[in-house]
Amino acid sequence: MNYSNLQPIPNLPRLDLPKVVIVGGGFAGLKLALGLRKSAFQIILLDKNNFHQFQPLFYQVATAGLEPSAISFPLRKIFHGVPNVSFRMAEAEGVDTNAKRLYTDIGYIDYDFLVLAMGADTNYFGAKNIEYFSTPMKTVSEALYIRNKIISNYERAINIPKMEDRKSLMNMVIVGGGPTGVELAGAMAELRNNVFPKDYPELSFKNMKVVLIEAGPKLLAAMSEQAQSHALDYLQKLGVEVFLATRVLDYDGKVVSLEGKEPIETQTLLWAAGIKPNRIEGFDASQYAGNGRMLVNEFNQLIGSEGVYVLGDQCILPGGEFPKGHPQVAQVAIQQARNLSKNLFRLIKGEQLVPFKYKDLGSMATVGKKLAVVDLPFFKFQGLLAWLTWLIVHLMAILGVKNKLFIFLNWSWNYLSFDPSLRLLIKPKYVRASERKELIEEKSS
């Protein structure tokens, strides 16, 4: 791309401090910006959205349990009254590492330190048809889209006379047996079991399938065998059909074909089977590992570029404890950001940098009401206690007192009523003709 027409990003405060430009306001980027507020650095935080999103609860947005606003937090609000942090809603596009200049869709900016914390997007592993017809869930917007799509499908199904012809609108297939797939499948089954039959008394739900497909031999591959078998058991209790060691061959928007299994009719194929790191132009191919993660040293410095750091899902530290890279989870991103912020303070003081060391705090997944699995480093448990632990941990992790309060109330409400009330088909509607062109361009991009 040609960046020669770009102007510098305007209206940034002129501070005589070294500039740290952070790309991405996810777990890593936000943690770093928070760590450096009121420091002797000028922070410019960029994100393509104006909010931080709490990815672990996307599935509850998709299944009408929570509002997007409950798990999203305006980035500007976090830095009210913090003069050394500026936010810009922008997409980073490329970099000139020699000139130390970052190019974005709103202009360029010169940095002293560039921190890439851009996370990852859905990976279809080259399956074009699946990419074309299936629905991913890597943003809160996509989660909301899933919710709208499912409700629309049911409103359409009720207008179809023959049961046979309704099947593909009612069945749901989820691909990927990691935490996202397991949590989505469980929540969808609960909707099918408890909510939809009351909303659509005219439809029969005996024939509605919720199917979870995993290519590997186990669900929750990163967890303990105990967690794996309990999760499978819980899903089956809720009526989810789980197909392990099963590969998706193709999808045409109506029928999923599977290796060694009958094809399934569905217009809702949710793809949670893989991720690939986001990237920008300007780096050398040698700076990437084969899977697209960027090669860093133990200080999260990008190998081969001065002053560039990479955090979280986007980076890989070759060798050492995790030869295939650290797990691409929130905890790694947060801990790397914390270590980097401390190292930047050390750098200024001329102190020795401290290498990153991952502390595994455990992992957990929830399948349904009172059904969850928790692996702590020295203690594994399941069921009601695990579910309560999951609730508390996620509540604590959510940013902001108001969001905590509203999520707590929503969960209590949904628990008591077994009937989340967010089944609303609301879209910010572009009504005016004058908006249409802009709209269509936006959607096609």
121-160 residues in contact with a second copy (CB under 8 A) are 131-136, 139-142, 144-145, 147-148, 151, 155, 158-160
- Could you give the CA distance from residue 337 to residue 300 in angstroms, rounded to a whole number? 9
# binding residues, a second copy (CB under 8 A): 80
Q: 145 vs 288, which CB is nearer to a second copy? A: 145
Pair 310, 332: CB distance under 8 Å: no
Decide: is 38 part of the binding site for a second copy (CB under 8 A).
no
- Least CB distance from residue 128 to a second copy, whole Å? 10
Tokens in use for 400? Answer: 């902001």
| Contacting residue, 1, 285, 396, 426, with a second copy by CB under 8 A | 426
Half-sphere exposure of 100 (CA within 13 A, CB side): 14
Pair 286, 322: CB distance under 8 Å: no
Contacts of 68 (CB under 8 A, 6+ apart): 61, 140, 141, 143, 144
Closest Cα to residue 299, out of 251, 338, 355? 355
- Least CB distance from residue 68 to a second copy, whole Å? 5
Tokens in use for 372? Answer: 């969850």
Decide: is 191 part of the binding site for a second copy (CB under 8 A).
no
- Quickly tell me which residue has 């060691």 as its tokens: 245
Q: 349 vs 437, which CB is nearer to a second copy? A: 437
Q: 136 vs 367, which CB is nearer to a second copy? A: 136
Strands (E), 214-351: 241-243, 248-251, 255-258, 261-265, 269-271, 275-277, 294-295, 308-310, 315-316
Give the range of 45-53, 308-316, 320-328, 379-387 binding a second copy by CB under 8 A: 45-53
| Contacting residue, 39, 49, 194, 291, with a second copy by CB under 8 A | 49
Residue window 246-275: x/- pattern of binding to a second copy, with contact defined by CB under 8 A: -------x----------------------
- Could you give the CA distance from residue 273 to residue 193 in angstroms, rounded to a whole number? 25
Decide: is 5 part of the binding site for a second copy (CB under 8 A).
no
Q: 133 vs 358, which CB is nearer to a second copy? A: 133
Task: Output DSSP code: residue 92.
Answer: E
- Could you give the CA distance from residue 408 to residue 66 in angstroms, rounded to a whole number? 10
Give the range of 224-232, 281-289, 332-340, 427-435 binding a second copy by CB under 8 A: 427-435
Task: Output DSSP code: residue 271.
Answer: E
- Least CB distance from residue 52 to a second copy, whole Å? 10
Using a 10 angstrom Cβ sphere, with 0-12 exposed, 13-18 middle and 19 or more buried, the burial of residue 199 is: middle
| Contacting residue, 42, 55, 60, 72, with a second copy by CB under 8 A | 72
Decide: is 221 part of the binding site for a second copy (CB under 8 A).
no
Decide: is 96 part of the binding site for a second copy (CB under 8 A).
no
Give the range of 19-27, 78-86, 91-99, 237-245 binding a second copy by CB under 8 A: 78-86
- Could you give the CA distance from residue 228 to residue 85 in angstroms, rounded to a whole number? 43
Decide: is 278 part of the binding site for a second copy (CB under 8 A).
no
Q: 123 vs 336, which CB is nearer to a second copy? A: 123
Decide: is 424 part of the binding site for a second copy (CB under 8 A).
yes
| Contacting residue, 245, 402, 415, 418, with a second copy by CB under 8 A | 402
Sign of CA dihedral 230, 231, 233, 237: positive
Using a 10 angstrom Cβ sphere, with 0-12 exposed, 13-18 middle and 19 or more buried, the burial of residue 318 is: middle
- Least CB distance from residue 423 to a second copy, whole Å? 5
Q: Could you write out the DSSP letters of every residue in 422-437? A: ----------SHHHHH
Q: 58 vs 111, which CB is nearer to a second copy? A: 58
| Contacting residue, 99, 304, 409, 418, with a second copy by CB under 8 A | 409
